[in-house]
Chain A
Amino acid sequence: DQQVKQNSPSLSVQEGRISILNCDYTNSMFDYFLWYKKYPAEGPTFLISISSIKDKNEDGRFTVFLNKSAKHLSLHIVPSQPGDSAVYFCAASGMGRGDKIIFGKGTRLHILP
């Protein structure tokens, strides 16, 4: 049973345009969400996170939006650059110390020249 779903395995976006990566979750106990980016042959790197007490968090070109009622979050990248081509993983965690982290399957983003 997938608790964190990234339903688009891949996405292609023109350079300079907005990239929107989506993530849905099923567990209402999740209250913290993270995005990681992964290049081939490298480990993932942390990108941005959001707590459930917020509905938006912004860091430069990256903004994460959280819609708790829909159990949906999205990562917006504006403007998209060639270096953004990577796999993006959405992850979720709960409040308790025993709660672990659940990653989605990832979305491969291709930025087209």
Chain B
Amino acid sequence: DVKVTQSSRYLVKRTGEKVFLECVQDMDHENMFWYRQDPGLGLRLIYFSYDVKMKEKGDIPEGYSVSREKKERFSLILESASTNQTSMYLCASSLLTGFRNEQFFGPGTRLTVL
């Protein structure tokens, strides 16, 4: 079974803080993704990575950056958290490149920015 774990289930931060969300997958998947889920908006892709040290912007990358130093780990960074970044953040991985392939999601991190 593929397992995708996220470092925290709940996180509360203050405006202006630097925030790190960590994601680890244990199935040697090439591809990793970060989404945010907001009520009435569904899932929106923030960033994704097809390989170590590689990253590509999704649909809403503004205010975020990512890091992929090791194949199994993909970090989402909020350089200076703002209240509009309060959301559920979901990490996913997939074996094959491209978005047609089944993605395996972590349980999510609910981030509140005060």
Contacts and interface: CB of A to CB of B under 8 A. Distances in A.
Interface of A: 4, 6, 32, 34, 41-46, 49, 51, 89, 91, 93, 97, 99-106
Nearest to A9: B40
A103 B42 contact: yes
Query: Which of A34, A45, A101 has the most chain B CB within a 10 Å cutoff?
Result: A101
B99 A44 contact: no
Contact of B100 (A32, A104, A105): A32
B43 interface: yes
Interface of B: 4, 35, 40-45, 48, 58-59, 90-92, 97-100, 102-108
Nearest to B48: A100
Contacts of B106: 43
A34 B104 CA distance: 13
3 pairs of A and B residues whose beta carbons are closest in the complex: A43-B105, A101-B99, A93-B99
Given A42-B107, A43-B108, A93 B100 contact: yes
A104 B99 CA distance: 15
A51 B98 CA distance: 14
A44 B105 contact: yes
A89 B103 CA distance: 13
B42 A105 contact: yes
Contact of A43 (B42, B59, B107): B107
Contacts of B104: 43, 45-46
Nearest to B50: A97
B92 A100 contact: no
A44 B90 CA distance: 9
A105 B99 contact: no
Nearest to B9: A41
A11 to B, nearest CB: 16
